Structure 1
C-alpha cells in the first residue's frame, strides 16, 4: 500500500511538472509594443524605445506583400493588437492578432473575397515544415521555447505593428 501511494504521488508530481513546463512567468519590464519586420524576418518585443527581445521569425508561405484574402499565404501588414491567446494551440502556444481590421475587411470585400482571419504568433509544434523558413498560412512563427517566453511576456491589448 505504501509503495502504491508513493508511486501515485510521484506520477502526479511528474505529470503536473510536465504540464506546467510550457507556462512560464515573467516579472520584467512591460512589453509596450511588438514590431514585426517581415523583410528582415525579425520580431522585436519593446518596452517603449528599448528592445527587450529580438527573435528570428518565419512567415506565411508567400511572405512578400500584404495579406489581401483568405488563403493567399501572406502575413498581414499594418497596426493591430494582441486580442486573444490559445494555450492549447496545435502550434505549442499562440497569441492572436486583431486581424482583420475594418480596413482589411473593406479591402477584401471590394475585391469580392474574404479577408480571412486567425492570424497568430505561434510556436512550431509538431506541424513545423522543417527546412522552410516561411511555412505558415500567414502567421508569425518562432521556436517553441521562444513562444513560451513571448506567451508569458506579452499581454492582451499589446499593440503590434507589422512592417514590410
Structure 2
C-alpha cells in the first residue's frame, strides 16, 4: 500500500514507551522497564519515565502514532505477572491501572475528549500484589526486564511492518 502523502509531508512514525511510577519500591516497575531499554531501542522509539504524571500524561501523546504505557499494578495476581491491555474498553474492568493522580481510565478518557489519543495505545501492567514501598522486589524487577526485551522485539516488528 502506498502512502498518499508526498514524501516531504510524511512525519516519521514515532513509538513512545512511557514508564509510569514513583521512586518508591515496586512502584518503580515502569521506570525499571525504561532503564532496561536504554540504548537498546531503535531510532523512532522514544522511551521516557514519568513520575506520577496525572492528567499531564495526555501531553506525552502529542505527535505520536503509537504509545505503550507501562505501570505497576496492585492486586492483579502474583508479583511479576505481566498484564497487557490493548482494548480501552477493557481498561474499565482493570481499575487498578493508575497514573497516580488521576486514574488511567479517566486520563485516557480526557485524551479521547481532547482528541489527543494516539492511533494505537497499549497498556502493560506489572503485577506487584500488595506493593512493597521500600524495595523493588526481584520478581517485579525480573518481569520488568522480560517486558523490556519483549518491547524491543515488538517495536522492531511494528517498525518493519510500517516501512513495508
State TM-score, norm by structure 2.
0.29
- Give the structure with the larger helix fraction: 2
State TM-score, norm by structure 1.
0.29
